[in-house]
Structure 1
Amino acid sequence: MPTITTDDGVKLYCEDTGAGTPIVFVHEFAGDSRSWEPQVRHFSRRWRCITYNARGYPPSDVPQDAERYSQERVREDLRCVLEGLGLADAHIVGLSMGAFATLHFGMRYCAQGAAPRARSLTLAGCGTGAHPALYAKFQQEARALADSIEREGMAHFAATYGHGPARVQLRDKDPRGFAEFVRQLAGHSATGSAHTMRGYQARRPCLYDLTDEMARIAVPVLVMTGDEDEPCLEPSLLIKRTLPTAGLAMLPRSGHPINLEEPALFNRLLEDFLHQVESGRSTVRDAASRPSIWGPGGKP
């Protein structure tokens, strides 16, 4: 089984498909490496596609100590995947939890004045719980979800959390794909999922406190969100307004797992963006067109 060993000794399951410029896909909390199958099938025809399971997601190791799950650790796991495969850089594509990891990777390893470790960053469905009005509540709910996972198990979690208000869009568009998503989620490790929810999700810093760090990212960025993924709409605008290298794409009538809901549109938007980056045509926003990062309403 192909694995990458992190610098704290955790083995991460990894798949490497195709040849060419590398793209590393970083999965969401409710997914795993299999969630990127519509992208791997498309992009591996011309690109090298790398997917991996985060710590806590078998067949990756499941550390038993919740303290071994954190925003910083997940960021460094992404670095370890690149280094384990001998990659100086890659296009990094993250969804939700994976988008947070991708963004933090960019802040740490793609800042102005340093040799970037990524060719580009794609942040899809990034921002759940990040708005200041929701941040404390999100932390509390994440801890409660971790308790529920440990008490009720993953089948109950998949039947409840898996049917949330930003996931019913997938159910309505693609019942067969939704059933597969729920089945895979139900098969996740309860220990790993609870530790990820409690150690990573409930403790990740608020994006609205990181605007100075975000603004220093020097590589091209694509932000994508579904227009019915309410928790991610305002944070996506914040990221777009903060990063002069960022573009924003909003997918209509779509919820959270947009790569599964609208794979053809997601792939086209991502492929257009990657071609712009590779051809040197991805531009920085003109300073004359930059609004306040807080929008017309001012700082919340």
Structure 2
Amino acid sequence: MPYATVSDGVRLHYETAGRGTPIVFVHEFGGSHWSWEPQMNFFTRRHLCVTYAARGFAPSDIPESPDSYSQARAADDIVDVMTAAGIDKAHLVGLSMGGFAVLHAGLRHPDRVLSVTAAGAGYGAEKAHEDYFKGISEQVAANFESKTAKVFGPIYAEGASRVQFQDKDPRGWQLFADRLAQHSDTGAANTMRGVQMQRPSLYDLEAEFKAMTAPLLVMVGDEDDHCLQPGIFLKKTVPASGLAVFPKSGHTLNLEEPGLFNHLLAEFIAQVEAGRWGPRDPRANPAQIMRTE
């Protein structure tokens, strides 16, 4: 079982499979390295695929202090795992918390990134809901501590943007909920307090995103309400970006709609590697409604 020892001494469990251009999959708060099985199974046909458990998620180390968790550490952990796996540059793919992490990795380590795919990245980003998000995040952290993941995990798994997954694929959702119930109480609480509650709003990073050089694919479900507007913001701000909106879909996109997710991701990576995913054509002026001359 390979581990990467990162800059502050924390050990992160990672798994690799396949051959080819590397892809690193970065999981969400509600998942772990196992969340990417539909992608690991598919993309290993053409790529070297890596998935890992973030700090606070077994079998990776679970630091006891919330100070060991932050958005910057989450981004740097990606690169440290790549280094441990002998990877110089990779396509980075993240969902939700992982989507934020790959975006920040694209900003912090552009020399290590071939492309960025951020799916379901937006919770806490909306300026109007910043304070509410911090408050509800603290409640979630406290619930993992007091009620335990075994009790609270299934409740968390039935949130407003998760029931779409439950309706479409009850067996898949149940597996997701069962695995969420096995999370570390300490790791979940510390991740919520150290990463989710403290990360900057995407809107506060507008200047950085305007200068972002990595090709970006943004994916969002049309019923993942608090990710829709942040997704549009990223599309309008990052130069070489594209936006895919999944119909009748919620937050857990890679498990809820694995076929569509894999198809769009494969097409994106193919275009990037062919040099065909560039900045928006300057003739596509968003201020223009119809050409008159």
Q: Which category describes the TM-score, using the shorter chain as reference length?
A: over 0.9
Which letter does structure 2 place at the counterpart of 1:104? Answer: H
Q: For residue 234 of structure 1, what is the aligned residue in structure 2?
A: 229
Q: For residue 65 of structure 1, what is the aligned residue in structure 2?
A: 65
Report the Cα distance in structure 1 between the residues aligned to 2:5 and 2:175, rounded to whole angstroms: 29
SS of alignment partner, residue 187 of structure 1: coil
Offset at 1:62? Answer: 0.3
Offset at 1:83? Answer: 1.2
- Contact kept, 8 Å, 1:128 with 1:231, in 2: the verdict is yes
Report the Cα distance in structure 2 between the residues aligned to 1:5 and 1:163, rounded to whole angstroms: 34
- Contact kept, 8 Å, 2:22 with 2:50, in 1: the verdict is yes
SS of alignment partner, residue 80 of structure 2: helix
- Contact kept, 8 Å, 1:241 with 1:290, in 2: the verdict is no
Alignment of 1:25-40 (within 5 A): 25-40=25-40
Q: For residue 24 of structure 1, what is the aligned residue in structure 2?
A: 24
1:199-236 per-position Cα deviation (integer Å, ceiling 9, x unaligned): 11011111111100111111111000011100100000
Offset at 1:85? Answer: 1.4
Q: For residue 257 of structure 1, what is the aligned residue in structure 2?
A: 252
- Contact kept, 8 Å, 2:154 with 2:178, in 1: the verdict is no
Alignment of 1:115-126 (within 5 A): 116-126=111-121
Q: Note if 1:89 corresponds to 2:86.
A: no
Report the Cα distance in structure 2 between the residues aligned to 1:97 and 1:287, rounded to whole angstroms: 32
Report the Cα distance in structure 2 between the residues aligned to 1:109 and 1:245, rounded to whole angstroms: 17
Q: Note if 1:169 corresponds to 2:164.
A: yes
Q: Note if 1:180 corresponds to 2:175.
A: yes
Offset at 1:291? Answer: 4.1
Offset at 1:158? Answer: 1.5
SS of alignment partner, residue 112 of structure 2: coil
Q: Note if 1:42 corresponds to 2:42.
A: yes
1:172-192 per-position Cα deviation (integer Å, ceiling 9, x unaligned): 000100010000000010000
Report the Cα distance in structure 2 between the residues aligned to 1:155 and 1:195, rounded to whole angstroms: 17
Q: For residue 77 of structure 2, what is the aligned residue in structure 1?
A: 77
Alignment of 1:215-230 (within 5 A): 215-230=210-225
TM-score of the aligned structures, taking structure 1 as reference length = 0.94
Offset at 1:286? Answer: 2.2
Offset at 1:287? Answer: 3.2
1:80-130 per-position Cα deviation (integer Å, ceiling 9, x unaligned): 0111112111000000000000001111122xxxxx211100000011121
CA distance 1:203–1:290, change in 2 (3 Å):
farther
Report the Cα distance in structure 2 between the residues aligned to 1:290 and 1:217, rounded to whole angstroms: 20
Contiguous gaps of at least 5 residues in structure 2: 288-293
RMSD: 1.0
- Contact kept, 8 Å, 1:241 with 1:291, in 2: the verdict is no
Misfit runs of 4+, over 6 Å = none
CA distance 1:131–1:290, change in 2 (3 Å):
farther
Offset at 1:18? Answer: 0.5
Q: For residue 273 of structure 1, what is the aligned residue in structure 2?
A: 268
SS of alignment partner, residue 8 of structure 1: coil
How many residues are paired up?
A: 287
TM-score of the aligned structures, taking structure 2 as reference length = 0.96
1:65-90 per-position Cα deviation (integer Å, ceiling 9, x unaligned): 11000111111111101111121110
Offset at 1:288? Answer: 4.2
Which letter does structure 1 place at the counterpart of 2:97? Answer: M
- Contact kept, 8 Å, 2:154 with 2:180, in 1: the verdict is no
CA distance 1:182–1:290, change in 2 (3 Å):
farther
Q: For residue 130 of structure 2, what is the aligned residue in structure 1?
A: 135
Q: For residue 295 of structure 1, what is the aligned residue in structure 2?
A: none
Offset at 1:290? Answer: 5.1
Q: 272-281 vs 79-88, which deviates more? A: 79-88
Offset at 1:283? Answer: 1.8
Q: For residue 277 of structure 2, what is the aligned residue in structure 1?
A: 282
Which letter does structure 2 place at the counterpart of 1:80? Answer: D
Q: For residue 107 of structure 1, what is the aligned residue in structure 2?
A: 107
Report the Cα distance in structure 1 between the residues aligned to 2:143 and 2:183, rounded to whole angstroms: 14
Contiguous gaps of at least 5 residues in structure 1: 111-115, 293-300
